[in-house]
Structure 1
Amino acid sequence: MKKKSYLFFLMTILFAVLSVAGCGRKKTDTDQWTRINDEKRVIVGLDDSFVPMGFQNKSGEIIGFDIDLARAVFDLYDITVDFQPIDWSMKENELQNQTIDLIWNGYSKSAEREEKVLFSDEYMKNEQVVVALKKNNINHFSDMKGKILGAQNGSSGINSFEEQPTILKNLVKDQTAILYDGFNEAFMDLKSGRIDGLLIDRVYANYYLSHEDNLADYSIVSGDFESEAFAVGLRKSDKKLAEKINAGFEKLRESGELARISTKWFGEDVTK
């Protein structure tokens, strides 16, 4: 009898634990602005190695342009922003599963992504470039013929690479790119010669190389990929939330705060 009672007790505890674990957010098609405004908290998903948009400093603190911008927008509504590092290749899944509320980390707007998410207004221009060591004499995309290319998994750069193959894909070795979860490892491989060029966002390349002691050793090569624009990614149903973010952008632009944040990170106002 005691054994049965003990087993029943264990099963009761297990059921309680599972019940609590299942009390997280449920997938819903309703606009989440009311919940976020009531809770006074919003969760932003990011790749925490994407300098200078959102990244961890040496102390482990998440900082960056998009970090300051997101906080400035939601400060207008007295809402705290939590930043959640995610697998960037799974960002849209994390959004739809409501693990996060927003994708906000140098997230490029594209027709393919518009099928999955609702975008805020654009706030910054960007383009895809190839970074290479100058000693490799890569001054044009055509110089990547037969060379080894690296790119970030799930990035807009690899999307452009696949969707517009005549620009770069058909040139590089094996018509493919070595994929990395983050750019830090990619730059290490570039320095060591494991790859010959790295397809990357210009804003990342400019910031990263400006903080390198050997900036003169690198080339930043532009190609024919169409220019991009950064925007915030939301669930399709979160139209009110998008309106609030867009209104925030406008208020920060009018007050000069948007330009101040941009100058802090880029030395000039690069916002739209």
Structure 2
Amino acid sequence: MKKKMMALITTLSIALSMTACAGSQASNDNSQSSNETQESDVSYIKDKGTLIVGITDFAPMDYKDDSGQWIGFDADMAKKVAESLGVEVEFVEIDWDNKILELENKSIDVVWNGMTLTSEVTSAMECTNAYLNNAQVVVVPAADADKYKSVEDLSGLSFAVESGSAGEQAAVDNGLTYTALTSQADAVMEVAAGTSDACIIDLLMAGAMVGEGTSYDGLTHTIELTTEEYGIGCRKGSDLAAYINDQLKAYYDDGSMEEVAKNYGVQEAIIAQ
């Protein structure tokens, strides 16, 4: 009798143990499935009624007109995408070093500001296809331009760069001495003021900010240190990047992308979508 009782208890214990394991496994599977299922960013943006765009003051991509409104190639394209979503657009100036954190915290929905597609960016964000070509160039006083024909000529100069930018990386890669500042615009002002010998900024920005007919006609750009491509950054795993890709292709195909680009002189930099 005792043997039968012990056998019954053992059988019940095994059965309960297997049930518990199965329940735990199911719970783990459900938890994993829940973690893998991400909220649609497109739906999230539509529901809240606003596309929040993280930017810096960066002509000709994002900058303010005389009335204080954000304009520029990127700003105008972001407005078109917001309109296609049926939402308002809001531009928020961010610290470029914190762009990934701003996305993850949902302080912004997208980084749309002439962002170079570096390995760091593409590994931390869901990025769109490249849409503009660019380069990192050296800006110096026009009177000194003939002195600088190669990277070797730059040795000993003090540079200003935007912190966390492709320009800063170019300075590092070429062993240049530099000071990191908040924005590319600040870097240009350093050179104009004589506080730095030179700066490294985006070619598209240099075309809009320095040289004849600009606010910095005493400066010019010389050596191209890198060639690169711009992309738009969304939260990792976000469906917004694919949505923007579709919209950019439509704007490229119907010619409206080129129309906007011509307003800011960047039409030659457009990449076919």
**What letter corresponds to residue 258 of structure 2 in structure 1?**
A
Partner-residue secondary structure (3-state), 1:223: strand
CA distance in 1, matches of 2:85, 2:266: 28
Alignment of 1:1-272 (within 5 A): 29-47=38-56, 49-136=57-144, 137-162=147-172, 164=173, 168-169=174-175, 172=176, 176-210=177-211, 211-212=213-214, 215=217, 217-225=218-226, 227-238=227-238, 240-266=239-265, 268-272=267-271
Q: Structure 1 residues 58 and 184 mapped into 2: Cα distance closer, same or farther (>3 Å)?
A: farther
- Larger RCO: 1 or 2 (CA < 8 Å, sep 6+): 1
Normalising by structure 2, we get a TM-score of 0.79
CA distance in 2, matches of 1:177, 1:267: 28
- The structure 1 segments of at least 4 consecutive aligned residues displaced by more than 3 Å after TM superposition are none
Mean alpha-carbon deviation: is it higher for 78-87 or for 242-251? 78-87
CA distance in 2, matches of 1:190, 1:241: 38
Is contact 2:170–2:225 with CA below 8 Å preserved after alignment? no
Q: RMSD over aligned Cα, in angstroms?
A: 1.9
**What letter corresponds to residue 229 of structure 1 in structure 2?**
E
Q: 1 or 2, which has the higher helix percentage?
A: 2
**What letter corresponds to residue 146 of structure 1 in structure 2?**
G
Is contact 2:41–2:240 with CA below 8 Å preserved after alignment? yes
CA distance in 2, matches of 1:151, 1:90: 16
Partner-residue secondary structure (3-state), 1:266: coil
CA offsets 1:28-81 (integer angstroms, 9 cap, x no match): 95332111123332111111x211100123432211110101111232232221
Q: CA deviation at 1:269?
A: 4.2
Stretches of structure 1 that go unaligned for 5 or more consecutive residues are 1-27
Q: CA deviation at 1:161?
A: 2.9
Identity %: 26
Normalising by structure 1, we get a TM-score of 0.79
Stretches of structure 2 that go unaligned for 5 or more consecutive residues are 1-36
CA distance in 1, matches of 2:247, 2:255: 12
CA distance in 2, matches of 1:46, 1:97: 16
Partner-residue secondary structure (3-state), 2:222: strand
Q: CA deviation at 1:228?
A: 1.0
CA distance in 1, matches of 2:69, 2:84: 23
Higher Rg of the two aligned structures: 2
Is contact 2:99–2:111 with CA below 8 Å preserved after alignment? yes
CA distance in 1, matches of 2:241, 2:46: 13
**What letter corresponds to residue 236 of structure 1 in structure 2?**
K
Partner-residue secondary structure (3-state), 2:196: coil
Q: CA deviation at 1:141?
A: 2.4
User: Which residue does the alignment assign to 1:12?
Assistant: none
Q: Structure 1 residues 269 and 79 mapped into 2: Cα distance closer, same or farther (>3 Å)?
A: farther
CA distance in 2, matches of 1:58, 1:153: 27
User: Which residue does the alignment assign to 1:20?
Assistant: none
Count residues in correspondence: 232
CA distance in 2, matches of 1:139, 1:193: 20
